Amino acid sequence: MTVIYDRVALIGLGLIAGSMAHAMRAGGLAGHITGYARSAETRQIAQEIDLCDSVHDNLADAVKDADLVVLAVPVGAMGSVMAEIAPHLAKGATVTDVGSVKQSVIDAVAPHIPDGVHFVPGHPLAGTEHSGPRAGFATLFVNRWWLLTPLPDSVETAVARLDRLITAMGAKTDRMEPTHHDLVLSVTSHVPHLIAYTMVGVADHLGRVTDEEVIQYSAAGFRDFTRIAASDPTMWRDVFLHNKDATLDILGRFTEELFVLQRAIRMGDGQQLHDYFTRTRAIRRGIIDAGQDTSVPDFGRTPGAQPAE
- Torsion sign (Cα): 266, 267, 268, 270: negative
- Considering only residues 110 to 139 of the shown chain, the ones binding a copy of itself according to CB under 8 A are 125-130, 134-135, 137-139
Distance in Å, CB of 42 to a copy of itself, minimum: 15
Q: Which stretch binds a copy of itself (CB under 8 A): 3-11, 50-58, 156-164, 300-308?
A: 300-308
Q: Which stretch binds a copy of itself (CB under 8 A): 50-58, 62-70, 80-88, 270-278?
A: 270-278
Interaction of residue 49 with a copy of itself, rule CB under 8 A = no
Distance in Å, CB of 23 to a copy of itself, minimum: 10
From residue 149, alpha-carbon distances to 105, 109, 176 in Å are 11, 13, 5
Contacts of 165 by beta carbon, 8 Å cutoff, 6+ apart? 4, 5, 24, 29, 68
Contacts of 62 by beta carbon, 8 Å cutoff, 6+ apart? 9, 11, 34, 35, 36, 56, 85
* 3-state SS, residue 172: strand
Interaction of residue 205 with a copy of itself, rule CB under 8 A = yes
Contact track, a copy of itself, 1-40, x by CB under 8 A: ----------------------------------------
Distance in Å, CB of 10 to a copy of itself, minimum: 19
Contact track, a copy of itself, 80-109, x by CB under 8 A: --------------------x---------
Q: Which is nearer to a copy of itself, 157 or 302 (CB)?
A: 302
| Cα of 7 vs its chain's centroid, Å | 24
Interaction of residue 48 with a copy of itself, rule CB under 8 A = no
Alpha helices, DSSP H only, in the chain? 15-27, 40-48, 59-63, 78-85, 103-109, 156-168, 178-185, 191-205, 211-216, 222-228, 233-242, 244-267, 270-289
User: DSSP letters along 108-169, please?
Assistant: HHGGGPPTT-EEEEEEE----S--STTS--TTTTTT-EEEE---TT--HHHHHHHHHHHHHT
Distance in Å, CB of 18 to a copy of itself, minimum: 12
Q: Which is nearer to a copy of itself, 90 or 222 (CB)?
A: 222
- Considering only residues 180 to 199 of the shown chain, the ones binding a copy of itself according to CB under 8 A are 180, 183-185, 187-199
Contact track, a copy of itself, 207-246, x by CB under 8 A: -xx-x-xxxxxxxxxxxxxxxxxxx-xx-xxx-xx--x--
Nearest to 70 by CA among 126, 6, 12, 153: 12
**Is residue 16 within 8 Å of 98, Cβ to Cβ?**
yes
Distance in Å, CB of 291 to a copy of itself, minimum: 10
Interaction of residue 202 with a copy of itself, rule CB under 8 A = yes
